[in-house]
Chain A
Amino acid sequence: MAARAFAIRRGGPGFVAAALVAATILGPVAAVLWRAGGGGWPGPADWAALRFTLMQATLSTLISVALAVPAARALARRRFVGRRVLITALGAPFILPVIVAVLGLLAVFGRAGTLNTALDATGLPTVQIYGLHGVVLAHVFFNLPLATRIILQGWQSIPAERFRLAASLGMNAGQVMRHLELPMLRAVVPGALMVIFAICLSSFAVALTLGGGPRATTVELAIYQAFRFDFDLGRAAVLACIQLALVTVAAILALRVAQTGGFGAGLDRSLRRFDAETPALRLLDGTVLLLVALFLLTPMVAIVLRGGGAVLDLPGSVWRAAAVSLAVAAASTALTLALALPMALAALRRPMLEAVGLLGIAASPLVIGVGLFVLINPWADPTRLALAVTALVNAVMALPFALRVMTPQLIDIRSDFGRLCDSLGMSPRDQLRLVILPRLRRQIGFAAGLAAALSIGDLGVIALFADPDIATLPLQILRLMGAYRMTDAAGAGLLLLVLSLTVFWLLDQGGRADADA
């Protein structure tokens, strides 16, 4: 039944918001394309960056998904204490600042890290984290959990009755795999591969901290270096064009192949699996889950241990940077909501509007950053606008997630209460005030939490624009690392970790507090 007129005149603000977002993304892209015209043809170093980007993304993706399949299978067919906590923790890397994860990985795998200390003590050769394998390691750290959640969703989309049927037919684990699980994996894995590949292509902060040098530079990092060190705008623009083409193709493929995002609800359902109740399979699943949990938790524990002592003695510059980060995150979150809400409402009638929001996934922050610099430079000093630009770019990056969170609930609200509102004669304003906002509170809170956490941990545009006087907390950590002040860096990393988790938790809870069923 076609509901008649839910929020009929709300098109206006939604279209304005969509136009703003399109201008924020496409304006800089156009500026980059225009500027690149004078930049000449890419040189050997640029092609090397492209090759490295593709290679590290391919390796990171294959390893993440290859490990995620057994991990998701173990989660799907085992019931144990802490299962829910583990699944929730798998969602955490989404809001975990990259620089914090890098600090944690350095604490475990770095030159003076736990692993090398142990290897050294036993006389074994030590490992080196910088370079290709460090970049891949960090990407697996971030994307193994995401891949596991996507594939676990696939497992749980298999109806429970099929597994019960398999049990009553006496199928063993191998037969269940062949008849039930492989067909599901064939449908789900390509999507997981494409999503993670697209994410790894835009990696900047990981490459900046663990890569570098002529043999481990991604295109994003090359943009930064051309811009920051050589101040070669033309070359930065050429590289930005390469990155733009790369990510656009990958994002289109990912959207086409992928079916679901990784943070859907309902992942805590578990099911007794008679085919998997053999000691060998129990041991296998237990080992897989233990290793995955160790791999993900050890770096976090290391951060807490190393940073814990330093947190109270942090220099004033770190606290100032933390205050700056909070302010940027507050502005960015407000902007995200101000854009997402009208766009999601308007998208009820024009689904195309959500596609405008998705542009934020396709465009890389560094490309937008370079473009904005080109646009701003003739009129004002871009470094003075560093924080405003960071808040704006962060908001545009968080927008697709906010839209994905709000849209399904808005569709439900419309189908549940649209006719009631119309039959009572509520004006669009009253519908928004009395029905939509109260029923959308949880989603607004969750979206705000995501936007704030993403912004607070972001190390992207700010690295391009900032002058030495100003820094967000992630940038300040980067500077401490550059000065080899690793204890202070670990303390500041712990502070950033606590801030981003707290901000997410507060906003998410704010949406839930006395919300009605």
Chain B
Amino acid sequence: MLTLDAIEIRQDDFHLGADFTVDTGARVALIGPSGAGKSTLLNVIAGFFPPVSGHILWDGQNITTLPPAQRKCGILFQDNNLLPHFTVKRNVGLGIRPDLRLSADDHRTVAQALDRVGLCGLGDRKPAQLSGGQQVRVALARVLVQRKPLVLLDEPFAALGPALKAEMLDLVRDLMDETGATLLMVSHDPADARRIAPQTILVAEGRATRPQDTEALLATPPEALRRYLGT
């Protein structure tokens, strides 16, 4: 279970408060207007940016000051998820050993993960030789081998077309179901939330709400969300 206990984030004149819990295995979307702080909140949870006050807990353990790699989360950024000079295999292998000294077992794990995301046989290519959708699959394979109980998506599908994005979202949902990991996903499209996230956190006007039922929230949106959706 992820707990944000009275978190306050400040950066110049930007301000965001968050105080909520996310249940283990939940899939939660973060939606709200651009500039409201969805990505910043994700970066705080991942450990790239410190809050000015409050605590972040995972299963009761305080992780507020831990470096990013020691937290229980894997993260996909908007871009630059892959190192362009490494093959697909090595990019995935980084999730097992960041020094890339991989054992035979590790190589098998990488191959299985690539099979699972539908990239069988493409392990020796470099990212530039893959399509945008395939590059996202490589990054997902790395998240898979990392075996982290919390997965954070910072709009990694933003550059994909609608059909491809839907395909990726379905893949993410299936992977989360198989691993039982908890998912937090930034999105600016309510359709993404409807598709794979039963719960939604609204980030607007300096506050992140607690997770609410996605359908109910979108059916009767509060004022801030209504203005963002334009309904």
A: residues with CB less than 8 A from B are: 1-5, 416-417, 419-427, 430, 434-435, 438-439, 515-517
Q: Are B81 and A422 in contact (CB under 8 A)?
A: no
Contacts of A439 in B (CB 8 A): 83-85
Q: Are A417 and B80 in contact (CB under 8 A)?
A: yes
- Chain A nearest CB: distance from B114 CB in Å? 18
Q: Are B67 and A422 in contact (CB under 8 A)?
A: yes
Assuming the A-B contacts A1-B43, A425-B70, A426-B99, are A419 and B85 also in contact, with contact meaning beta carbons closer than 8 angstroms in the complex? Answer: no
Whether a CB of chain A sits under 8 angstroms from the CB of B20 is: no
Q: With the chains together, A104 CA to B71 CA distance in Å?
A: 65
Assuming the A-B contacts A3-B48, A416-B80, are A423 and B74 also in contact, with contact meaning beta carbons closer than 8 angstroms in the complex? Answer: yes
23 of the cross-chain contacts (CB-CB < 8 Å) are A1-B39, A1-B40, A3-B48, A4-B48, A4-B67, A416-B80, A419-B48, A420-B80, A421-B98, A422-B47, A422-B69, A423-B69, A423-B75, A424-B69, A425-B67, A425-B68, A426-B69, A427-B99, A430-B100, A434-B83, A434-B86, A435-B83, A439-B84
Q: With the chains together, A435 CA to B90 CA distance in Å?
A: 12
- Chain A nearest CB: distance from B138 CB in Å? 13
- Chain A nearest CB: distance from B116 CB in Å? 20
Q: With the chains together, A417 CA to B49 CA distance in Å?
A: 16
Q: Are A516 and B126 in contact (CB under 8 A)?
A: yes
Contact of B98 among A416, A424, A438 (CB under 8 A): A424
- Chain A nearest CB: distance from B109 CB in Å? 15
Q: With the chains together, A424 CA to B67 CA distance in Å?
A: 10
Q: Are A4 and B68 in contact (CB under 8 A)?
A: yes
- Chain B nearest CB: distance from A439 CB in Å? 7
Whether a CB of chain A sits under 8 angstroms from the CB of B95 is: yes
Q: Are B69 and A438 in contact (CB under 8 A)?
A: no
Q: Give B25-46 as 1s and 0s: 1 = Cβ < 8 Å from A's Cβ atoms.
A: 0000000000000011001001
Contacts of B40 in A (CB 8 A): 1
Contacts of B70 in A (CB 8 A): 425
Assuming the A-B contacts A419-B68, A422-B48, A422-B69, are A517 and B43 also in contact, with contact meaning beta carbons closer than 8 angstroms in the complex? Answer: no
Q: With the chains together, A417 CA to B86 CA distance in Å?
A: 13
- Chain B nearest CB: distance from A198 CB in Å? 38
- Chain B nearest CB: distance from A417 CB in Å? 6
Q: With the chains together, A299 CA to B184 CA distance in Å?
A: 67
Whether a CB of chain A sits under 8 angstroms from the CB of B128 is: yes
Assign chain B's interface to a size class: 20 to 34
Q: With the chains together, A56 CA to B62 CA distance in Å?
A: 69
Contacts of A3 in B (CB 8 A): 48
Q: Give B47-87 as 1s and 0s: 1 = Cβ < 8 Å from A's Cβ atoms.
A: 11100000000000000000111100111010011011110
Q: With the chains together, A76 CA to B100 CA distance in Å?
A: 48
Q: Are B48 and A425 in contact (CB under 8 A)?
A: no
Assuming the A-B contacts A3-B48, A424-B95, are A417 and B83 also in contact, with contact meaning beta carbons closer than 8 angstroms in the complex? Answer: yes
Q: With the chains together, A5 CA to B46 CA distance in Å?
A: 13
Contacts of B81 in A (CB 8 A): 420
Contacts of B67 in A (CB 8 A): 4-5, 422, 425
Whether a CB of chain A sits under 8 angstroms from the CB of B94 is: yes
Q: Which of A423, A426, A438 lies at the interface centre, i.e. has the most chain B CB atoms within 10 A of its CB? A: A423
- Chain A nearest CB: distance from B23 CB in Å? 23
Contacts of B77 in A (CB 8 A): 419-420
Q: With the chains together, A3 CA to B86 CA distance in Å?
A: 22
Contacts of A434 in B (CB 8 A): 83, 86, 94, 98-100
Contacts of B83 in A (CB 8 A): 417, 420, 434-435, 438-439
Output the nearest chain A residue to B82 by Cβ-Cβ distance: A420
Contacts of B126 in A (CB 8 A): 516
Assuming the A-B contacts A4-B47, A424-B94, are A516 and B69 also in contact, with contact meaning beta carbons closer than 8 angstroms in the complex? Answer: no
Output the nearest chain A residue to B43 by Cβ-Cβ distance: A1
Assuming the A-B contacts A4-B68, A422-B48, A516-B126, are A430 and B84 also in contact, with contact meaning beta carbons closer than 8 angstroms in the complex? Answer: no
- Chain A nearest CB: distance from B226 CB in Å? 29
Q: Give B85-105 as 1s and 0s: 1 = Cβ < 8 Å from A's Cβ atoms.
A: 110000000110011100000
Output the nearest chain B residue to A425 by Cβ-Cβ distance: B69
Q: With the chains together, A242 CA to B70 CA distance in Å?
A: 58
Contacts of B94 in A (CB 8 A): 424, 426, 434
Q: With the chains together, A466 CA to B43 CA distance in Å?
A: 60
- Chain B nearest CB: distance from A434 CB in Å? 6
Output the nearest chain A residue to B39 by Cβ-Cβ distance: A1
Q: With the chains together, A435 CA to B85 CA distance in Å?
A: 9
Q: Are B98 and A426 in contact (CB under 8 A)?
A: yes
Output the nearest chain A residue to B94 by Cβ-Cβ distance: A424
- Chain B nearest CB: distance from A418 CB in Å? 9
Q: With the chains together, A156 CA to B25 CA distance in Å?
A: 54
Q: Are B48 and A438 in contact (CB under 8 A)?
A: no
Given A420-B80, A426-B99, 14 other A-B residues pairs in contact with their CB atoms under 8 A:
A1-B48, A1-B49, A4-B47, A4-B68, A419-B43, A419-B48, A425-B67, A425-B69, A425-B70, A427-B98, A427-B99, A438-B85, A516-B126, A516-B128
Q: With the chains together, A427 CA to B80 CA distance in Å?
A: 19
- Chain B nearest CB: distance from A197 CB in Å? 40
Q: With the chains together, A2 CA to B126 CA distance in Å?
A: 29
Contacts of B100 in A (CB 8 A): 430, 434
Contact of B128 among A2, A417, A422, A517 (CB under 8 A): A517
Q: With the chains together, A438 CA to B94 CA distance in Å?
A: 15
- Chain B nearest CB: distance from A384 CB in Å? 45
- Chain A nearest CB: distance from B47 CB in Å? 7
Q: Which 3 A-B pairs have the closest CB atoms?
A: A425-B69, A426-B98, A516-B85
Q: Are B98 and A425 in contact (CB under 8 A)?
A: yes
Q: With the chains together, A426 CA to B86 CA distance in Å?
A: 15
Contacts of B80 in A (CB 8 A): 416-417, 420
Q: Are B48 and A430 in contact (CB under 8 A)?
A: no
Q: With the chains together, A435 CA to B126 CA distance in Å?
A: 15
- Chain B nearest CB: distance from A231 CB in Å? 56
- Chain B nearest CB: distance from A487 CB in Å? 50
- Chain B nearest CB: distance from A370 CB in Å? 46
Output the nearest chain A residue to B148 by Cβ-Cβ distance: A423
Assuming the A-B contacts A424-B69, A426-B98, are A516 and B84 also in contact, with contact meaning beta carbons closer than 8 angstroms in the complex? Answer: yes
Contacts of A420 in B (CB 8 A): 77, 80-81, 83
Q: With the chains together, A84 CA to B79 CA distance in Å?
A: 33
Output the nearest chain B residue to A4 by Cβ-Cβ distance: B48
